[in-house]
Structure 1
């Protein structure tokens, strides 16, 4: 028991001694660290002061340099202004001297004029005296003549006037004949001069519309995707757009064939979107074609607005602007209709200005003269009369309406700009290479072919492809059965043989697609 107590006491004493020793050591270490920290802080403070002094001196030097530079610039500016002021003062002094000289000269002239006025007044008095004397002498002379001739002065005047009238009439009639003959000789020359100057001032490029568009692809591997399994993708695309898509050995290119430029453009843009997206299947094709068709409608409006702005025509009705945009996708005898109308508008403006007519109205009528060709419906009226009716409907100027209706002599010309429109239309169409009759007759035949098939019951869509050698007819599955589809293709072929003239043979394909749609809710 005593041993344990002793051990405990020893342990306690050892612990206390260790505690005090450790504490004294820690305090020493802290003091050493504080001294080191103070030394470091003093060093840093000294370094900072040295840096601050160097920065301060460099900044002071920079400020002095800037001050000297600004002062030199200011001195230069002051000297320049002083020299300018001195030159202006010299100019003012010179001007004052010249004005003083002019004032002295004007005073001298006024004095001279006063002298001349006095002389004139004296001369006027002398003239008046002589005039009164002459009047008296003339009266005496007339009285003596009346006695000699047994006629009064009034009777003599009347006889003299009658003789002068007869002479004037004969001279005037001969002069009128000469003027008419000269006008006949020079009218044709002047008209040719105006037309040639107008043509020379309006230069337009010509590009014949064709029936083929080229769609370029990066690699030939994409052709397989476009064709699809057993050709289902290409068939769906042709059915949705109404064009023929030719995928052959041509490297990195697909040919889109069709007579309607709008259909070709829709097919080209749809192909571009499908290839870019990578998802090509019938459902996706129909969706993309539908969106592209809407985008083309918006683009038509944009083209019309851009054309009107370029030509500087204001206040045109939105429907007429839309028709102007449609001209971009139509052709007349192979010539692009919008390009033709823009050219006619420029020619009309130039020719009307040369003839002293209203150039703005002439330009407006020139742009709108063929809007009857782009009306979506197919009326029986000629395009000039239809265009005139549309212009009247949308409240165009009467002169513009008459010019549109009379540019093919369907109605009588009642304004001066109507023959200008007719002449400019002929100029634009008669340029070398501007038009091609075969192209227009070919497109007209394909349109007639489609319209003939659309006249049958149950036909929804109809597309002429392969340059008119094949007619694809889409029918309504509910109203046309399979048996009736076969009969319908025969009836259409018989109707084509009976009513149309065409080279070779035309293949009539009736497509009946049955779709059953339901929705899971």
Structure 2
């Protein structure tokens, strides 16, 4: 019994093996596989018949069942092989089409190559003609100039060498001038600069004043019939009077703080008096102007006393008084001047410098702001001109002119003290103000302008917009080009941006070398 089962299993395995072989060679050996299957079935049947007819019958049934399954699988495999053959035929057709297209492209490329060869030959002929023309021109130049090529080259190189020597000499002289200082003076400068580094400027001016009124009926009286009262008032005071829907308030607008204060006092007196007409307006305005002159004189004298700096010049005293009504980025200018005076005196005392000189220079350093709306020029230039006009020393003029870094070279340690004190007063918390929106837009625009330059990788606005630090790509910008790039960026920032004070341009180039240790 066991042998029959083994024989049956052997017959099944043989049929499966024939099935696998037929999968590989299905199309060519199908008939041979069927004969082999029949032979195996007949041998199994003969062997099984000698043992038992019942077992033979079971084996025959099993073989029939296996054959049917095998035939079904053969049919499926035939269909799969047919599908594969169809796909192969389709791919073969696609490959034929692609080969045809490639052949066509090769023909086109071959034609283009011939065209390029002809053009290359034509270019070589043109280049040779150009070389000939150059040689002829050189001969003509040599003939006209009376110099041989080598002689002209020597003259040109000699001139370039002289220019290079001159440039290097100027650079060497400038570097020596910056570094050749005594140890005591250098220590004082370092201390001054260290204090100065806390600086940060960002604010906005105040250009309006408000006069409170008891009721809105007064607005009509201020305007007058056909606007004659308000026109007379604006003409006499030099301000803009804004009478709008704001309840119980009138706005006075002017960039000149003194005129704005005169207009405010005059308007308050007219409202309190009740008589508002052109003649009365002229009378009140003239009276307020005389009072204001006296007030400016008293304010200037009081400021000089508080600063501890004796001053007898009436014009300087008057200009100091006018600083009371001048604001710079929201900071009262007279208060700022007094703070700078006190700071300069304290720093000069610590450094062992001329305290009285520093106080006087600090008192005069921004005096030009009292008349900068009347005189052309920057406030530090106007301040220096005023000091020079009234007999101050060149050292004093330099200290005033150089209190903003970059506009003049300080010639004394006292000049560094004035710049330091001015920066500290402007940068102390709460001294100045600016709207966050304007501040952020200014920084964004600054970074955007810098990033437009080729080779700039990253740009950061720092120190509240007073410095922009630029990182460049080392492959695009070498060490010699960093100074040129900084100069070009500074020029573009000056042309396209509006900003208080000054902006330092710092270009950083970093070179990195990397290797892997194995």
Same fold (TM over 0.5): no
The normalised TM-score by structure 1 is 0.43
The normalised TM-score by structure 2 is 0.43
Structure having greater relative contact order (Cα 8 Å, sep ≥ 6): 2
